[in-house]
């Protein structure tokens, strides 16, 4: 699988089906973060500049009822794409049928068309999300070439990625998908060393396969966020009312035993007695926690510890915030990790999508990392070492 083949393919006059991940956050019909659209522009621009006729597919949100369709139309996304491209994007409010087919027939070289939210098909019997064979074949029949550039859904076998690729002669990865493979896949398979992974987020259960796989390849695995308290309790510490998955304690003990000197846990914390955005009551080691208290972020001594490890790394992968970064009083750990990684010299630095990517962008570090992934769940599964269906389907 190589984009050199894509670059050497004559797309002029070809109907090019492009699966992107434009599942962007929206509020009252307004896009609040267009990063995923921006990241897909190089692939779309390449197709258009080559004289290809771009037919763009994406999902948006969860579609479980007819009411969900009202707030999850891709029309606002098509408008934003047109603004970014400086070129009209024809929006078709259908996922199949005569109106769509006619619109595609009317396309000229270099034109762009976006079809409606692919997940609207799920209201007809989960046809998109279960990779309905008839739907995948139908969508494939609309084009000559397929490009998958949606890393965010690469861990899913859907009609709009695997279904199309299975029913079309020619398929390629887009430039964004290739970039994700290069950086995340490279970090797992052949990292420059020292290789340090830093994992946060709420639940250990979400990250166990990732930790297990990274213990095979990483030189250090730093753990922060809510998941750290399960590991601390597994070591015998009282974590008070801090988030803790009791059912994961045995697994946490096993990982600590396997990890031995590889796993690094926080050493100080910000304590409070309520899950509210108010100033911490005090800062200290986990042994300083008082009855009825919880920790919502890591402390300054932990940041110093993490910095000493990260500053010598040559490959860094970060997935998951260090605290409740949505609260102003408990975002210092996440911002601190952003700053530390951003200032590491001569290293490949990768943010593995999801909340950590949102935090990096929100706090102004978007241009300070080698790569910020557009996939949350896909990034995690790739870090687990899993084969992703949306990538494998292109390996013909």
Question: Active-site positions?
Answer: 36, 203, 354, 377
Would you say 263 and 305 are in contact if contact means Cβ atoms under 8 Å apart? no
User: Is 261 within 8 Å of 309 (Cβ atoms)?
Assistant: no
10 Å CB burial of residue 346 (0-12, 13-18, 19+) is exposed
Q: Residue 292: which H helix or E strand, with range?
A: none
* Residue 249 CB neighbour total at 10 angstroms: 16
For residue 231, which of 216, 217, 248 has the smallest C-alpha distance?
248
Cα separation, 140 vs 148, in Å, equals 12
Task: Work out the angle at residue 120's Cα, subtended by the Cα atoms of residues 114 and 124, and round it to the nearest 5 degrees.
Answer: 135
Mention every residue, 6+ apart, whose C-beta is less than 8 A from residue 277: 327, 328, 329, 330
112 touches 54 (CB < 8 A): yes
């Amino acid at each position: 699988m190589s984009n050199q083949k894509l670059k050497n393919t004559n797309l002029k006059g070809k109907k090019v089906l492009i699966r992107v991940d434009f599942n962007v956050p929206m509020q009252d019909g307004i896009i609040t973060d267009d990063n995923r659209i921006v990241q897909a522009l190089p692939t779309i621009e390449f197709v258009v500049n080559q004289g290809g006729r771009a037919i763009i597919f994406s999902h948006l949100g969860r579609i479980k009822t007819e009411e969900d369709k009202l707030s999850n139309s891709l029309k606002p996304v098509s408008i934003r794409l047109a603004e970014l491209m400086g070129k009209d994007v024809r929006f078709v409010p259908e996922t199949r049928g005569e109106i769509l087919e006619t619109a595609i027939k009317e396309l000229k070289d270099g034109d762009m068309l976006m079809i409606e939210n692919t997940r609207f098909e799920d209201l007809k019997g989960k046809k998109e999300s279960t990779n309905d064979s008839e739907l995948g074949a139908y969508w494939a029949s609309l084009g000559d070439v397929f490009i998958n550039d949606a890393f965010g859904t690469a861990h899913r076998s859907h009609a709009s990625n695997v279904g199309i690729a299975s029913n079309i002669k020619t398929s390629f990865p887009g430039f964004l998908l290739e970039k994700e493979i290069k950086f995340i896949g490279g970090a797992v398979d052949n990292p420059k060393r020292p290789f340090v992974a830093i994992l946060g987020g709420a639940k250990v259960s979400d990250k166990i396969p990732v930790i297990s796989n990274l213990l095979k390849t990483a030189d250090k695995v730093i753990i922060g966020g809510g998941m750290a308290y399960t590991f601390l309790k597994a070591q015998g510490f009282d974590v008070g009312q801090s988030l803790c998955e009791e059912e994961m304690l045995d697994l946490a003990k096993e990982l600590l035993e396997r990890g031995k000197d590889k796993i690094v846990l926080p050493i100080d914390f910000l304590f409070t007695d309520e899950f509210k955005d108010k100033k911490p009551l005090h800062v200290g080691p986990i042994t300083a926690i008082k009855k009825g208290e919880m920790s919502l972020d890591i402390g300054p001594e932990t940041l110093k510890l993490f910095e000493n490890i990260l500053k010598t790394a040559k490959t860094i992968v970060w997935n998951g915030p260090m605290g409740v970064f949505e609260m102003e009083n408990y975002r210092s750990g996440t911002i601190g990790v952003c700053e530390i990684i951003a200032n590491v010299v001569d290293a490949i630095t990768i943010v593995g999508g999801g909340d950590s990517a949102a935090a990096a962008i929100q706090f102004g570090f978007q241009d300070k990392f080698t790569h910020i992934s557009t996939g949350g769940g896909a990034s995690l599964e790739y870090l687990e070492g899993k084969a992703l269906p949306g990538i494998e389907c292109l390996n013909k």
